[in-house]
Structure 1
Amino acid sequence: MIKSVTFKSNTWNLVGTLRLPENFDENKKYPAIICAHPISSCKEQTSGQIYGKALTQSGFITLAFDASTQGESGGEPKYSEDPSQRVEDFRCAVDYLVTLPFVDDEKIGVLGVCGGGGYAVNAAMTERRIKAVATIVAANYGRIVREGDLTPDNALKTLEAIGAQRTAEARGNASLVVPYVPFSSQTELDAAGITDVDLTEAVDYYRTSRGEQPGSPNKLRFTSLAPAFSWDAFAMAELILTQPLHIVVGGGKAGAFGSYRDGFDLFNRARSSQKTIHVVEGATHYDLYDQPQATEQALAQVIPFFKQFLS
């Protein structure tokens, strides 16, 4: 059973997809898992349609939702990517789940994909109602933006540009909305000489029928980038990330997003006494979004993990 639901984050509504397991009985209590989408994504893509769906088929209630200012969710300014708000959305998702009489509020977990994995980890550190954490190709958004074009100086130039744009907007100019993925086809990638596996597969996933969804329009408010430059998804993990943790990374060719090294960085930093990391050999970052051979291997690890710690 699939239900469209809404719940509050600050003063606006977030829109989510609540999946209920087969033979659902509203008089019983079920474990629940929040499924968080990647940066630039939406609930109809990998977090909900692949991982949320499979976890529900395994007996869990799942909640995949659009982040604030994105997809069908409210919040202003639209198309912002603010780490602090993304993390607050998780707390609000827990607030919603604990109001449902058929959710066991001592058995709530979280699964995040790509940037959603980084946000999920960060949220779990201070949201102790989350009892287990799994990540799929988790990426540390702060690290990604600080690297810029792989140099700190380029990151500083971006911050200067953000400041200039805020000044322009304060003086009445239009807001600047830019694409997350700046290329729309393989032809454009070839013309620009782009061969990085993450960038080329981002185009294949987000800009073609493979993964395109209306809730993922490839729009980013440029000035909203600023807070991420001083943000670390895994900050304090060595002190306060204690929940059971399972990390899935791809062992194929590494790309610019750096999720393979972020996965091992998280594993090494986490205080969790029960933590595991699984490498899906040969799988790229985007293979673990929707390619059956890769996602089935990830789920073969994630489902038993949640059954162990949310049972």
Structure 2
Amino acid sequence: MKTVTFRNKDMYWDIAADLHFPPDFDETKRYPAIISAHPIGSCKEQTSGNVYGQALAKEGFVVIAFDRSFQGSSGGEPRSIEDPVQAVEDFRRVVDYLVTLPYVDADRIGVLGICGGGGYAVNATMTERRIKALGTVTGANYGRLMRGNFSQLNPIAALEAMANQRTAEARGEKVKVDDLLAPSPEAARELGVTDRDPLEATEYYRTARGQKPNGLNRSVPSHQAAAVGWDAFHLAEVLLTQPMCIVVGDLPGAFGAYRDGCEIVERAASKDKELVVAEGWSHYDLYDKPEPVKIALDKLIPFFKKHLGEVTVVKQLQSAG
């Protein structure tokens, strides 16, 4: 693995990423590549990199797990912003970086998004034609979440509160940063949290199981308004034509990934699309638990090999004399 940072001409900050290489990696060869995108409030060192990134690299892909702008080790201020427009643009910036690497085949780039990173990956794939194959694991439409459970089913009231907070900060108040999760599973239960998804999110992010220094699960309310009006699946019926492999668990929770997976498979214009249901497993089981992760990878690995191909040898032209 190699940690890199890069900055595009249109950026004022760096994107941080981990490159995961196949066994016996050889820079004189040309590899298919996969962009692996982390969940909402997460970072590249969690499921996108240390689980799916590593597994796909072992199968012959160069995998780049990156931190979105404002999160993880990437730049951007204020920290912990979830800006869907910026998030989708980050995918293009990662592609821009990949096509400069001599060992990456620019015509064989795919994407895998987990949780909210899955929704971003769907949206990015629609208009980024350099992405040739799309995979998601328990992918969620962040815009739908912001209009639904993340705003207590009252998006107008949430927008009013966001507007008031932004005004306060414009007038000099400190930027408000909210913790999305309780500090522990026990604290979550004491607060009355009963739904599977937020409870299991707390168990993943707030214990040794998944906790990482940069996986903070925080939000900045004054910068969330754009997400309320955003939809990851807008125009999928017209623009999403690339092959798709969508993996979900069938134990539903408040974050709605099962619903979103069914919806995008139904709506997408792609002729080659599959919904993979990991029966008996939940949203957060698919982050790192061996059995459901195997169910996902047993579908994703052949899917990406079919549509991105295998490593190729680059022929070197020898100059005469």
Q: What TM-score do the two structures reach when normalised by structure 2?
A: 0.94
Equivalent position of 1:94 in the other structure: 95
Equivalent position of 1:162 in the other structure: 162
Equivalent position of 2:179 in the other structure: 179
Do structure 1's residue 274 and structure 2's residue 275 form an aligned pair?
no
Equivalent position of 1:56 in the other structure: 57
Q: CA deviation at 1:156?
A: 1.5
Q: In structure 1, the residue corresponding to 2:14 is in which secondary structure?
A: strand
Equivalent position of 1:190 in the other structure: 189
Aligned residues: 307
Q: CA deviation at 1:148?
A: 3.5
Unaligned runs of 5+ in 2: 310-321
Letter aligned with residue 23 of structure 2: E
Equivalent position of 1:247 in the other structure: 246
Unaligned runs of 5+ in 1: none
C-alpha contact (below 8 Å) 1:254/1:284 kept by paired residues: yes
Equivalent position of 1:216 in the other structure: 215
In the TM superposition, what whole-angstrom CA distance separates every residue of 1:185-208 from its partner, at most 9, and x where no partner exists?
222222222210001001000011
Give the Cα separation in 2 of the matches to 1:240 and 1:123: 10
C-alpha contact (below 8 Å) 2:151/2:158 kept by paired residues: no
In the TM superposition, what whole-angstrom CA distance separates every residue of 1:204-248 from its partner, at most 9, and x where no partner exists?
000111100011123221112110111000111100000000000
Structure whose CA Rg is larger: 2
C-alpha contact (below 8 Å) 1:246/1:275 kept by paired residues: yes
Identity %, equivalent residues: 55
Give the Cα separation in 1 of the matches to 2:147 and 2:216: 24
Equivalent position of 2:41 in the other structure: 40
Equivalent position of 1:310 in the other structure: 308
Give the Cα separation in 1 of the matches to 2:216 and 2:188: 19
Letter aligned with residue 220 of structure 1: S
Give the Cα separation in 1 of the matches to 2:190 and 2:216: 23
Give the Cα separation in 2 of the matches to 1:174 and 1:149: 23
Q: In structure 2, the residue corresponding to 1:281 is in which secondary structure?
A: strand
Q: CA deviation at 1:150?
A: 7.5
Q: In structure 1, the residue corresponding to 2:282 is in which secondary structure?
A: coil
Letter aligned with residue 265 of structure 2: F
Letter aligned with residue 225 of structure 1: Q
Q: In structure 2, the residue corresponding to 1:29 is in which secondary structure?
A: strand
Give the Cα separation in 1 of the matches to 2:186 and 2:20: 39
In the TM superposition, what whole-angstrom CA distance separates every residue of 1:241-285 from its partner, at most 9, and x where no partner exists?
00000000001x210000000000000110001001110000100
C-alpha contact (below 8 Å) 1:109/1:132 kept by paired residues: yes
Give the Cα separation in 2 of the matches to 1:62 and 1:296: 18
C-alpha contact (below 8 Å) 1:244/1:273 kept by paired residues: yes
C-alpha contact (below 8 Å) 2:241/2:269 kept by paired residues: yes
Q: What TM-score do the two structures reach when normalised by structure 1?
A: 0.97
C-alpha contact (below 8 Å) 1:148/1:155 kept by paired residues: no
Query: Cα RMSD over matched residues?
Result: 1.1
Give the Cα separation in 1 of the matches to 2:6 and 2:45: 17
Letter aligned with residue 174 of structure 2: A
Equivalent position of 1:72 in the other structure: 73
Q: CA deviation at 1:77?
A: 2.0
**Comparing 159-168 and 211-220, the one that deviates more:** 211-220
